[in-house]
């Protein structure tokens, strides 16, 4: 048994971070899922709250390694 994680750059801040490729929040750009880091999600929520928008959320484990058996 092993674990896997992806490493990529955040769509918003461009910083490199590691994440669970199944659970990480993302946005499609030209048909490609682009990941968004936890810092950017957390930073966006106060702005969204002021605008009356619901907060962005992420699944537990979105920024942790994934059990390799869960990968497609």
pLDDT in tens, 7-46: 999 999 999 999 999 999 999 999 999 999 999 999 999 9
CA dihedral 42, 27, 32, 72 (to 10 degrees): 70
As for how many domains the chain has, the answer is 1
Of residues 44, 52, 4, the one with CA closest to residue 27:
44
Categorize the per-residue pLDDT at 72 as very low, low, confident or very high, splitting at 50, 70 and 90: confident
Q: How many helices (H) and strands (E) does the chain have?
A: 1, 6
**Residue 15 structural domain:** 3-70
What is the pTM for the complete model shown? 0.87
């Amino acid at each position: 048994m092993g674990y896997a994680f992806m490493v990529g750059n955040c769509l918003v801040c461009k910083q490199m971070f590691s994440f669970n490729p199944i659970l990480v929040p993302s946005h499609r750009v030209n048909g490609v899922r682009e990941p968004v880091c936890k810092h950017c999600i957390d930073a966006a929520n106060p702005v969204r709250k002021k605008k009356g928008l619901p907060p962005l959320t992420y699944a537990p484990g979105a920024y942790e390694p994934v059990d390799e058996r869960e990968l497609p």
